[in-house]
Structure 1
C-alpha cells in the first residue's frame, strides 16, 4: 500500500510558494501628490510616467536633465529617474542615483524616499541585511503610501533571511491600514507556523480564512489562508481540525485541488476511506497537470485497497499508469517544441508590444496543444519577470529598427534638400547679380545731400512735390521770358501774387516736409540694411548650406553604426534571454515529467504489492484446501 503523503512537504511547498504576500504595491518612484510643475520638460516626463509609458518617461527625462532643462526639479527628477531605473531592473544605475541623492540632498522627504527605494532595491537583489540597514535610516517624512508599504518590506527581509521572530515583531507592532491588515495577519500566521507555534499562527490564519471578501484578490487570500491552516493541522496530526478548514476553500478557486486532496487525506487519517474517495474522485476529473490531481490517481486506489476492493484498486492503478505514460509522452513533445523555438513567439502572438509598460504581465496563453503546460509557467514569478525582460527586448529591438529606418529617411531628406539647393542656387545667384546695392546706396547718399542742402539754405522748392515743382518751373520760365518785362502790369502783378502764394505755401509746410523726408530717408536706410543683410545671408548660405548638409549627413552616418551596435547587443541579449527562458520552460516541463515518473514508480510498486498479496492469498487458500 502507498504511504500517506508527507504533509510537511505539502505545507513547506505551500508556505514557500506563498512567502510574504501583499496588496498592490505603489509604483516605483511615485512623485509626491500635489507637485507643482515649474519646468515644462519635467512636466512632459511626468505626463509619460502617468501614462505608464516608462520607456519614454525615462528617455525624455534623461535628455531633459542632460540639457539642463529641469533646474527647479533637480531632486525630484533624479528620484523619478532612480525609480524608473529600478522598475526596469537597472539596479546599479538606480543605486548610483539614490546614493547621489543621499549625498547631496538636505530635504528630509527626498532622503527618506531615497533610503526607501535603496532598501527596496537591495531587497530585490537579495541583500536582505543591507536592505534592513537602509530601511533603518528612514525618518518620518515618507509619503503615506510608502509608509504603509515599509513594514511589509521589512518583514519580507526578515523572512527572506530566516528571521521569522523578527518578522513577527514587525508585523505585531504594525498598525496597518485596512487594505494591508489581511495580508499582515496572513504573513504573521505563516511566520508563526514556520516557527512551530501553530496555535498562535492558526488564530491569525483562521481570522483571515473567515473574513468577508469583496474582491477576487481577497477571496484568493482567504482560500490561501484556509489551505495553509488546513495543511498545518494535517502536519500536526489533527485531521479533525484540518477538514472543516479545508472545506472552506472554494471548489472553483485556484486552491481547490489542493484543498480537495487535503480533505481526502483528513478522512483517510481518520480511517474513513469511503469519505476520502469523494473528494479524490472529484479531483480525478480535473486537469492532470495539477500535482494534486496527479496524486489523486494514486490516492483513489490507495483508499480502495483499504476498503478491500482490490480488483477496483488494480484497475485504478493500471489507469494511472496508462494516464501517466500518455502525459509523459505529451510532455516530451512539449519539451521538443520549447527547444525548437516555438514557445516564446507563441506567447507574444497577441501582444501589442508597447515598450516600457512596467506593470505588464503575461495573463493569457495561446490556444494550442501546449497551453495546459504554459499555465504552470505563468504561475512562476521568475518566469514572468524573465519573460517581461524578453518582451521588453523584443520591443526595444523593434524600436531600434524603427530608428534605423528613420535615419534612412532623414538621410534621404538631407540629400533631397542638398539636391534642391544645388539646383536653385545658380538661378538665385543670377537674380542677385542684378541687384545693385552699391548703386542704391549712392542714390541714397545723393538724396541725403540734397536734403541737407535744402535744410541748410531753406530751399523750400527743393521739397516741393512734382506738381508744385512743375508750377514753380513755369513761373520761373515766365519771369525769364524777355517779353515779360513789357507785359501788362496786371499780368506781372498776377505773376507776383501767384509766386508769392506758392512760396508762402512751400515755406509754411517746409518743416513738416523736411521731417517726412528725413523719416523716409531713415526707412530707406532700414530697407537697404535689410536688403544688404539678406544678400549677405544668401551669399553666405551658398557657402554655409553645403557645409550644414554635410554636418547633418555626418551626424546621421555616425548614428547609424551606433544603432547597429545597439541592435547587435540587443540581439545577443535577446538570444541569451530566450535560451534562459527556454531552459526554465524545459526545466519546469522536465520536473512535471519527473513527478509523473515518480508517481508511476509508486503506482507500479503498489500494483506489484496488490498482485503479491493476491498471490499469497491464493496460495494460502490452496494450502488450506482438503
Structure 2
C-alpha cells in the first residue's frame, strides 16, 4: 500500500488494525516492530513527522528492528527542530548495541552534528574528536581484517562449529557465526539473504564431503570384512567338513532305520517293550525251565515238582501281567521318541543342504565383489575431488562477498571520518575567525590561542 501510494488514512487504519490483531508472542512482537518501523519511515517520507514519532516510539527495545527505529526516530525529531530530544534515541542506541553496528556508527556523527545545531560548539568539538578517534581505530582495524587470510579463518571457524549440523530445519543455526571482530563489522552482511544462501550452499558441500568420507570409510570396513570372511571360509574347509557331516548323518539315519525295524519286530514278541529289569527277570524265568526239566527226568516217587511248576507259572503270569500293563505307555513313549529323533534328523539333513547351498552362493558371491568395492571407492574419491573444487569456489564466493561488503563499509567509515575531520576543521576555523575578528588590531601580532584550549575552558565554565 505504501509503494502504490495509497491514501495515508487507509494506510494508518490498516497499520492500526494489523497491530491490534497480532498475537502476543515473540513472532507477533517482531512483526509488530517491523510494521511500525516501515510505517514510521513511510510517514517521514510523507512529512507526517508527528505520526512517525508515534510509530518509532512504539517499537520495543528487544528486537532486530530496534536499532534502525532508534536511528530514524532521532532523525525525525531533528527534522522537527527538537534537537535535545533527538539526541536521546541515539544515546539509547549507543548504550544498548554494539559500537560496530551500522546504525550505531551513523549515530556517532548525528550526535555532534545536533550539538552543533544548538550552538554547543565546545561539546560538539569534543564529540567530533571522540568520533574521529573511534573511527580511525575502526578503519585501521577494518583494513587489517579485510584480507583473504583473516576472512578464510573466519569462515573456517564457522564451518568447524557447524560441522555437526545435519540437513533440514537445523540449518537455521548456520546464521550463528563466531563472535569475532569480522562478525562485528559484518553485521549488516549477515542479514542479507544472498549471503545466507551462499553459507547454506557451503554447509551443504561440507555435509556432502563428510558423507563421502563416511561412505569411503564404510567401504574400507567392507573390504576388511570381505578379506576376513574369505580367509575364514578358506581355512574352514567347508566342502570337506560338509562331506564328513553328511557321512555322519547317513550313519545316524541307518541307525534310526535299524531302530524302526526293531520296533516293528517288537510287536510280534511275547514280552514286547520290556524294560531292562523285566528282561533280567524273564531271563531268570527261562533259566529255571532247564532245571525243572532235569529234575523231572530224574524224578523220584518222593519228589513232587508240581509246586515248583505252579510257582513258575504264577511268576510268569505276574511278569506278563506287569509287562502288558506298562506296554501301551512304553510303546507310546518309544514311538514318540522315535518320531522326534526322525524329525531332528530331517532338520539336520535340511540344515546340511542349506549350508551346502549357502557355501555355493558364498563362493559365487565373493567373485567380483572386491572389484565392485574398489570401483565404488574410486568413484567416491573422484566425487570428493569434484566437491573439494566446488568448496574452494564457494569459499571464494563468500570471501569475495565479505570483502566487497567490508570494502563498502571501509569507504563509508572513511567518509564518516572525513566528515568528522571536516567538521572539526570548520569549527576550528570558525573559532579562529571569531577570535581574530574580536581582537584589536594592535594585538594582531600576538599568537592566537589554541582552539582546543579555549573550548576546554568554555566547557569547564559550562560544567561549573
1:588 counterpart = 2:405:
yes
Q: In the alignment, is the contact (CA less than 8 A) between 1:355 and 1:392 conserved in 2?
A: no
The correspondence for 1:401, drawn from 213, 222, 233, is 213
The equivalent residue for 1:449 is 261
Q: Kindly indicate which of the two structures has a greater share of residues assigned to helix.
A: 2
Which whole-Å CA distance do the structure 2 matches of 1:194 and 1:618 have between them?
55
- In 2, the alpha carbon distance for the partners of 1:548 and 1:485 equals 83
1:345 aligns with 2:161: no
Structure 1 segment 206-221 matched on structure 2, within 5 A: 206=16, 214-221=24-31
- The structure-2 alpha-carbon separation of the partners of 1:307 and 1:453, relative to structure 1 and needing over 3 Å to count, comes to closer
Give 1:453 shift: 4.1
Distance of aligned partners of 1:584 and 1:198 in 2 relative to their CA distance in 1, 3 Å threshold:
farther
Long gaps (5+) in structure 2? 443-464
Alpha-carbon distance in structure 2 between the residues aligned to 1:213 and 1:533:
71
Contact persistence 1:338–1:586 (CA under 8 A): no
Report the counterpart of residue 528 of structure 1 in structure 2: 345
CA RMSD between the two structures: 4.5
Note the C-alpha offset of 1:358: 0.7
- The match for 2:47 among 231, 237, 244 is 237
Question: What is the rounded CA distance, in whole Å, between the counterparts of 2:77 and 2:214 in structure 1?
Answer: 63
User: Corresponding residue for 2:458?
Assistant: none
Task: Find the residue that maps to 1:460 and give its secondary structure.
Answer: coil
- Measured in 1, the distance between the counterparts of 2:365 and 2:118 equals 93
Partners of 2:148 and 2:399 within 8 A in 1? no
Deviations 1:354-399 (A, max 9, x none): 3134143246443333231243333233333432443344344334
Return the offset for 1:235.
Answer: 0.9
Q: Which has the higher contact order (CA 8 A, sep 6+)?
A: 2
Q: Deviations over 1:108-158 (max 9, x none)?
A: xxxxxxxxxxxxxxxxxxxxxxxxxxxxxxxxxxxxxxxxxxxxxxxxxxx
Counterpart check, 1:223 vs 2:30: no
Partner residue in 2 for 1:202: 12
Which of 63, 74, 85 pairs up with 1:264?
74
Counterpart in the other structure of 1:104: none
1:390 aligns with 2:205: no
Tell me how far apart the structure 2 counterparts of residues 505 and 303 of structure 1 sit (CA, whole Å).
Answer: 127
Deviation at 1:342, TM superposition (A): 0.8
Change (3 A) 1:529 1:297: closer
Q: Provide closer, same or farther for how the CA distance between residues 351 and 472 of structure 1 changes in structure 2, counting only shifts above 3 A.
A: same
Query: Counterparts of 2:157 and 2:14 in 1: how far apart (Å)?
Result: 43
Greater C-alpha radius of gyration: 2
Name the counterpart of 1:140: none
The one-character-per-residue Cα deviations of 1:55-106 (angstroms, maximum 9, x if unpaired) are: xxxxxxxxxxxxxxxxxxxxxxxxxxxxxxxxxxxxxxxxxxxxxxxxxxxx
Number of the residue aligned with 1:439: 251
Counterpart of 2:377 (choices 556, 560, 566) is: 560
Name the CA shift for 1:500/1:251 in 2 (closer, same or farther; >3 Å).
closer
Aligned to 2:456: none
Matched, 1:294 2:111: no
Structure 1 position 577 matched with structure 2 position 388:
no
Q: 2:216·2:377 contact (CA, 8 Å) conserved in 1?
A: yes
TM-score when normalising by structure 1:
0.56
